[in-house]
A and B are shown apart, each in its own frame.
Chain A
């Protein structure tokens, strides 16, 4: 898509494009994103969503941080307001999709086998097994893993990263690639804070800011339905923003690509 426009060039790497060719060898300067093929597929997926005015949200966290529990509570709470659909990514089982279907919501399970992350092709295949007409919000629950899911664009508009209070408040500092990519960070299972003395929500937030990430931080318990209103309000706001973008033919990529895009438009001007 961007083979020719040079948008991979940023002030940080443009000197590389003009390296002299070594004598005796044919050196070809490429400067192309290694995951360009995935990114092209992701852009195609995003077109599917935008054409239907769907907001697509990628949920990422460690295994067991409460992604499926968050979805269960959210789908019930928003049942009369929006039509939602869910893509579940898991290494082995159909369990999560069944938990979602039990709430009366359309769910497709991607069983990744050995792959520890979803990619744009897997998501595209899943889309062809789903009814997207009339869907307002599509949630994609990524494979539980704080490392690589952040590197693969799926075509989502927003990344939501969960951190449960049983995990340690320094996770954003330990997994900067993941937490830098978050458009919202949810501190989950806050009902357990009372019995844990080593998780400081303010510290978790400070670690996120140290990654230069301005994303909102919401503290909630899906199990006890505490703090959920702020999350629902954020979803409503984001769906309205997506509809406003679609109305003027624009789209949005998650936070992680934001810097490069800003630089791209800054240098193009």
Chain B
């Protein structure tokens, strides 16, 4: 079950984002997984709470973005959608294609809750203005 390794990597990355932005915790984590990434979203969703337990994202919602497989044909030049085990051109049928999307394994975005600031607000600094 390598989804646990992936979940641990995800927690580390989100942790770094929380630090970078001086946030308190993450509320939503959006991940983009293509069918060719070799990671099953459902299994990652199961592994995530284990990896996130006690962290600043343990209450975060994990959301997956759909990433359809798209190939670019080197023979006819067209971009078409393809199935996971048939990455041939949908127009001319040639197998000399490149993956445009569908193999990503990306942390797409994170929604953060910021730390309540301890500094006095500008209103109190200038009460007469």
Contact = CB atoms under 8 A, between A and B. Distances in A.
B84 interface: yes
* Centre residue among B23, B31, B86, B96 by max chain A CB count within 10 A: B86
Nearest to A208: B95
A262 B39 contact: no
B13 A34 contact: yes
A259 B96 CA distance: 12
Contacts of B23: 26
B31 A177 contact: no
B36 A13 contact: no
Given A117-B2, A259-B103, A176 B84 contact: yes
B98 A34 contact: no
A263 to B, nearest CB: 7
A25 B2 CA distance: 32
Contact of B98 (A36, A152, A263): A263
Given A38-B9, A177-B37, A211-B87, A30 B17 contact: yes
A151 interface: yes
A115 B38 contact: no
B33 to A, nearest CB: 8
A211 B21 contact: no
A33 B21 contact: no
Contacts of A256: 103
B118 interface: no
B128 interface: no
A95 interface: no
B12 A37 contact: yes
Contacts of A260: 99, 103
B39 A151 contact: yes
B77 to A, nearest CB: 14
Nearest to A116: B2
Interface residues of B, number: 48
Interface in A12-36: 12-13, 16, 19, 22, 25-36
Interface of A is mostly: mixed
Contact of A12 (B6, B10, B104, B109): B104
B87 A212 contact: yes
A172 to B, nearest CB: 8
A262 B100 CA distance: 11
B109 A19 contact: yes
Nearest to A32: B107
B121 interface: no
B71 A212 contact: yes
Interface of A: 8, 10-13, 16, 19, 22, 25-38, 115-117, 119, 147-148, 150-152, 172-174, 176-178, 180, 207, 209-212, 214, 256, 259-260, 262-263
Interface of B: 1-2, 5-6, 9-10, 12-13, 17, 21, 23, 27-28, 31-32, 36-39, 65, 67, 70-71, 84-88, 95-114
6 shortest interchain CB distances as A-B pairs: A12-B101, A148-B2, A177-B38, A151-B38, A212-B87, A173-B85
